[in-house]
Amino acid sequence: MMFIVNGELKMGKGKICAQVGHAVIGALHSSRRRLGTMNALNSVWTV
């Protein structure tokens, strides 16, 4: 999983980490809704 952060947003490192963490949780929840629980977990952890 790769995240691209706009450096011009003038956020501190902690705030960026928090925002990326929220994005990860949102992506996981979205996958679970679309694919079902086990399929979503497999798709997240399988490269």
What global pTM score does this model have?
A: 0.61
Convert 16-47 to b/e letters by CB count within 10 Å (16 or more is b).
Answer: eeeeeeeeeeeeeeebbeeeeeeebeeeeeee
**Residue 8 tokens, joined:** 């011009």
Could you read off the pLDDT of 1-47 as tens digits, one per residue? 788 889 898 899 999 999 999 998 888 888 777 776 666 556 655 55
- Measure CA of the first residue to CA of the last residue in the chain; give whole Å: 9
Residue 31 has a pLDDT of 76
Residue 28 has a pLDDT of 80
Residue 33 has a pLDDT of 75
Residue 17 has a pLDDT of 93
Residue 3 has a pLDDT of 85
